[in-house]
Structure 1
Amino acid sequence: MDIDAFVAVHQSEWDRLAVLSDRRRLSAGEADELLRLYERTSTHLSMVQAVEPGGSLAAGLSARLGRARTQLTGSGGNVFEGIAYFFAQSLPAAFYRIRWLTLILGAAFIAVAVGYGVWTSHHPQLDLLMPEAERQELAESLFVEYYSEHPNSSFAAQVWTNNAWIAAQEVAFGVSGVWVPFILFVNAQSIGIAAGIMAEQGAADVFWLNILPHGLMEITAIFIAGAAGLRIFWAWVAPGQQRRLTSLAYEGRRLITVAVGLVIVLLVSGIVEGFVTPSGLPPWLKILIGAVVLAAYWVYTLVLGGRAHRAGVTGDLGRYDAGAHELTA
């Protein structure tokens, strides 16, 4: 075997192996590439050792394989570094990928809610939907009491659980393609009808004061969950050049990242609904707090997420969490 020619042909592969072996963190795709290069270089080492078992080339390849082996089989790295990477790179990148679909679902939701609100407030036979006495009770006491009848902490936990359940349905059944639109339509309809009744009773200001502080972020979280669920559906319908199961797995791993982020987003909105909405703070301050929370989310998504996206981060799980992508024998 001509060693010089062998080196010339395979040097680029060995260099790439060294680069991947020295990286502190690999994406799932890079981990797959590292494994392939490791197996190929192991074969190269065997070939070299058959010709020059004690040569410098064999020693160099052995050292590179050792570093690659450590990268492949070592621990997942410092846990705090992993957490920092998740919140600074993976999560904002995952949110960024679904930003447009999130906005589209939000626009559709608002259109449905406004439509039902106008229809309800001007309906000539509104008594058939809800008797006058019940509408008055809703506007004068029930709507506001809903936010203050329970202790703040328990109410915040209840809100978090309820919203998480809605988001979980969108995530779990998003692959069907119909459940997300259905859930969003039903919730938009409910909010629109409630707004229409409050407006008809002359209590529109009460409605908005008790909805906006927490609702700005809370409803946006439902849009995010819907967008993530529909991405799973689209990965199944249009997998592109990938196999259908591979496409679903690829998008599903990103969905896990979004789901973890939604737990935190819904927790924040639940805290606002449990402690800010029923508080004695000035109305303008309550709404400002809600607006700041929403603005913080979009800054996080567009600034950090955009930067991570341009750096090639996709929101996929790391190699230790993602597991093997393909079975090989």
Structure 2
Amino acid sequence: MDLDAYVLTHGHDWARLDELTGRGRLTGAESDELVERYQQVATHLSVIRTSAPDGALIAHLSSVLARARIRLVGTRVTSWRGVLTFFTERFPAALYRLRWWWLGCLAANVVVTGVIMLWLLGHPTVEQSLLSPDEVDQLVNNDFEGYYSEYAASHFAAQVWINNAWVSAQAIALGILGLPVVAVLFTNILNLAVIGSVMIRNDRGELFWGLILPHGLLELTAVFVAGGVGIRLFWSWIEPGGLSRSRSLAREGRTAVTVALGLVVVLAISGVIEGFVTPSSLPTWARVGIGVLAESVFFAYVFVLGRRAVQRGHTGDLSADLLEDSVATQA
């Protein structure tokens, strides 16, 4: 390809895009033109990088596209439509595509929790080495139930939301290293198993399950989703499939960010249940029923909405135009 001729032919398109980007206010027609010019210049950059790579020209066009993208982000991507698209397509598609990873993580953790709890119930001396009789009495008769009503519901809901979001973020962020994810999850379920065995041994099993299940079903599912996605992130560079390790890790990393952002909302819902439903005066069956309903809605969201989103071609990764801009900016 004759690069000089290409520049001469399309240079006015690049200049026009830069001009529109720099304007303070755009009319409706100019906004449409900005989008059209952006797509044209992105295509031109792709052609140049493939057919006649020129470092200076690539850097220039990348800069023009980056500035235009910032302008477009300010006017379109942060709109409510973008938020709606995220929660109806990108997030559920990511959950559905990675379903076997987090479902496996969920199943493994449930089994391990059950095994540890049963083992502790069969070995009371272990419990005695962990807690003194006074500590057991305080936990069984005061602390466990009091934990859910010690603070105002709104304050408590915010507190548990922040804590669970932090645990989930750790599980995803540490995923690239593999073993730390297992450590985070094991610490979480070990505490649950120890408290559960103590409560059950002291004939407070009904109270334990009645306070754990309303919020715990959705909350722990979200944590296990984060753990499964973290493990997938680790596996993406161990076994990249048909991609290079860097591209495989980048793709799963972007998808992990999608899941992390979506889980913030899921954990906020579980936090509201824990703050307002778990300690409420509702009968146990009603509180547990609300927890089961929330969990059922989540699974329907994944396996109905998520499956349909995947069938339409969504994967949970960034959309094509965002990826093009990211590549251009890096160049």
Normalising by structure 2, we get a TM-score of: 0.76
Deviation at 1:265, TM superposition (A): 0.5
* Deviation of the 1:164 alpha carbon: 0.9
Higher share in helix: 2
Query: Partner residue of 1:311?
Result: 312
Give the Cα–Cα distance (whole angstroms) in 2 for the partners of residues 231 and 284 of structure 1.
36
39 and 169 in structure 1: CA distance in 2 versus 1, 3 angstrom threshold: closer
Relative to structure 1, is the Cα distance of residues 327 and 269 closer, same or farther in structure 2, using a 3 angstrom cutoff?
closer
Two-structure CA RMSD over aligned residues (Å): 2.7
Task: State whether residues 94 and 305 of structure 1, in contact with CA within 8 Å, keep that contact through their aligned partners in structure 2.
Answer: yes
- Whether the 8 Å CA contact 1:112–1:192 is kept in 2: the answer is no
Equivalent residues of 1:118, 1:196 under 8 A apart: yes
Structure 1 position 80 matched with structure 2 position 80: yes
Q: CA deviation at 1:326?
A: 6.5
- Name the CA distance, whole Å, in 1 between partners of 2:159 and 2:297: 24
| Separation (CA, whole Å) in 2 of partners of 1:277 and 1:101 | 29
Pick aligned residue for 1:325 from 318, 323, 327: 327
SS at match of 2:327: coil
SS of structure 2 residue aligned to 1:75: helix
The 5-angstrom pairing of residues 134-213 of structure 1 reads: 134-213=135-214
How far apart are 1:124 and its partner, in Å? 3.8
Letter of the 1:115 partner, please give it: V
Taking a change above 3 Å as real, the CA distance of residues 34 and 119 of structure 1, as seen in their structure-2 partners, is farther
CA distance in 2, matches of 1:252, 1:218: 23
Report the counterpart of residue 111 of structure 2 in structure 1: 111
Distance in 2, matches of 1:281 and 1:225, equals: 31
Deviations 1:92-121 (A, max 9, x none): 101111211111111111111111211222
Which stretch shifts more, 230-239 or 115-124? 115-124
Q: Which amino acid aligns with 1:122?
A: G
| Partner residue, 2:90 | 90
Who is 1:228 aligned against?
A: 229
Q: Structure 1 residue 313: deviation in Å? A: 0.5
User: Structure 1: where are the runs of 5+ without partners?
Assistant: 1-30, 45-68
The alignment status of 1:101 with 2:101, answered yes or no, reads: yes
Give the direction of change, closer, same or farther, for the CA distance of 1:252–1:39 in structure 2 (3 Å limit). closer
* Structure 1, 122-131 or 193-202: larger mean CA deviation: 122-131
Q: Which has the larger radius of gyration?
A: 1
Whether the aligned pair in 2 keeps the contact of 1:232 and 1:252 (CA below 8 Å) is yes
For residue 317 of structure 1, what is the amino acid of its counterpart?
L
Alpha-carbon offset, residue 242 of structure 1: 1.9
Cα distance between partner residues in 1 of 2:309 and 2:93: 6
- Displacement of 1:320 after TM fit? 5.7
Q: 1:143-201 CA deviation, whole Å, 9 max, x = no partner?
A: 00011111111111110111111111111110001111111111111111111110110
Structure 1 window deviating more from structure 2 (119-128 vs 75-84): it is: 75-84
For residues 40 and 188 of structure 2, the distance between their equivalents in structure 1, rounded to whole angstroms, comes to 45
Which stretch of structure 1 is more off in the superposition, 299-308 or 317-326? 317-326
User: Aligned partner of 2:314: which letter?
Assistant: V
Q: What CA distance in whole angstroms lies between the structure 2 residues aligned with 1:151 and 1:121?
A: 34
Other-structure match for 1:289: 290
Superposed counterparts of 1:39-50, under 5 Å? 40=47
Instruction: Name the CA distance, whole Å, in 1 between partners of 2:266 and 2:227.
Output: 14
The answer for the alignment partner of 2:18 in structure 1 is none
Matches within 5 A, 1:57-72: none
Distance 1:106 1:37 in 2: 46
Change (3 A) 1:197 1:257: same
Instruction: Give 1:237's aligned residue.
Output: 238
Could you say which residue in structure 1 is the equivalent of 2:55?
Answer: none
Residue 238 of structure 1 and its aligned partner are, at CA, apart by 1.4
Distance 2:269 2:191 in 1: 23
